[in-house]
Amino acid sequence: MATVTRSVREVCEEAKAASHVLARVGREAKDACLKDLAERLEGRSAELLEANRADLEAGREEGLNDALIDRLTLTEERISEMAAGVREIAGLEDPVGELVESWTLENGLRVRKERVPIGVVAIVYEARPNVTIDAAALCLKSGNAAVLRGSSSAETSNAFLAGLVREALAAAELPEAATCLLEGRGHEQLRELATQEGLVDLIIPRGGEGLKRALKEAATVPVMYAAAGNCHVYVHEDADLSMAQRIAYNAKVQRPGVCNSAETLLVHRKVASALLPAAIQELADAGVELVGDERTRENAGSVRVGVATPEDWDTEYLGMKMAIAVVDSLAEAIEHINTHGTGHSEAIVTSSEEAAEGFTGGVDAAAVYVNASTRFTDGYEFGMGAEIGNSTQKLHARGPIGLRELTTTKYIVHGSGQIRE
């Protein structure tokens, strides 16, 4: 049974025991289990879609907004992408046991620094059922046990997916407790999970600021925040304007309900009159609600652009809304991003290597793009198979959280009887 009805502590104890087994499992067994999981996903997609429909119907009845419904929705294409991601993870090099560096001391001690699993990783996430598979697959490959806590809005989908994972684990004769799913309800349960010192080694929350605040108030175990994305596209004065318009449109419209979509467009004053009328028209035609500063509104043509409030510059809309500002310089664009951004993904469109270097060096973010959409900040797009989230912290990992980000290191020292004087 995928959904766990036992206490949080009991679940974490079983996951801890499973993590000790997984740490010693070789690549061949883990990869075989992952390939089996991918086949189960595809072979039982009809059942999965039926489970997902139940969540979607309940979500609509509860009044979930379009962005959350999009995150919750599974399709044949998305299931195929999940399976492809699992297979890609299986094909990646196993980070466990990877030699980071080695050296020999003057006293003859031989020191190796190797990658090892973290242990038990708890992932708390909202809406997206694909995270169940991404997290379970990445944790398995990196030798970690996963304790998953999804949201109640995806309860049926998550239970079915976690069940597939546990079936694949059992078939591979690996401990089923390597993937445990908690019922996604109640702040008390979240608080209990966040205080399982000695059992849970790391918590990764993937959700909104409310989830982040709840964990900050309660957690006594380490937390790696897969944080919000208030992302920007900046168009420099020497940009190819056709390219800039394509990038800005893609970064906002291609999938607006995700954390790497752009929420703000910044345009250098020297190209504002040449770029903004067409760019604003295209965004408006796609259904994007636009707000902007005075100079933006002056260049909006016949499109109505609302007045941007101070809060707009700090808001992750996760929907079809965008703020636009005209800036006087590259330095002003960088200052705006560093003041209002969340350190997720930022982009510049420019033909100048000097401006590109100034932007990539000056912007404080996990991913910085030159002449490309922010939408690429994703473990799958980066060739990592999948991700658990995108960390905007600087310790212990930053950017997409993939296999290597789910390991730590161990020093292994060999001697021949040395003692310290």
Query: Distance between CA 164 and CA 417 in Å, rounded?
Result: 50
CATH number of 3-226+388-414: 3.40.605.10
**At the fourth CATH level, which superfamily is domain 231-376?**
Aldehyde Dehydrogenase; Chain A, domain 2 (3.40.309.10)
Looking at the chain, the domain(s) classified CATH 3.40.309.10 span: 231-376
Query: Alpha-carbon distance 355 to 238, whole Å?
Result: 9
pTM attached to this predicted model = 0.87
Task: Return d(Cα 311, Cα 383) in angstroms, integer.
Answer: 36
The whole-chain average pLDDT of the chain stands at 94
Three-class SS of residue 400?
strand
Instruction: Answer for the pair 105, 415: CB distance below 8 angstroms, yes or no.
Output: no
pLDDT at 157: 97
pLDDT at position 4 = 41
Check residue 268 and give left, alpha or beta (phi > 0: left; psi -120 to 50: alpha).
Answer: beta
Domain with CATH 3.40.605.10 in the chain: 3-226+388-414
**Dist CA 43 CA 171 (whole Å):** 16
pLDDT in tens, the chain (421 residues): 344 468 999 999 999 999 999 999 999 999 999 999 999 999 999 999 999 999 999 999 999 988 889 989 999 999 999 999 999 999 999 999 999 999 999 999 999 999 999 999 999 998 889 999 999 999 999 999 999 999 899 999 999 999 999 999 999 999 999 999 997 577 889 999 999 999 999 999 987 778 888 888 899 999 998 768 999 999 999 999 999 999 999 999 999 988 999 999 999 999 999 999 999 999 999 999 999 999 999 999 999 999 999 999 999 999 999 999 999 999 999 999 999 999 999 999 999 999 999 999 999 999 999 999 999 999 889 988 888 989 988 888 999 999 999 999 999 999 999 999 9
* Residue 5: per-residue pLDDT: 65
CA atoms of 229 and 233, how far apart (whole Å): 13
Give the dihedral of Cα atoms 379, 380, 383, 384; nearest 10 deg: 50
Cα–Cα distance for residue pair 392/399, rounded to 1 Å: 6
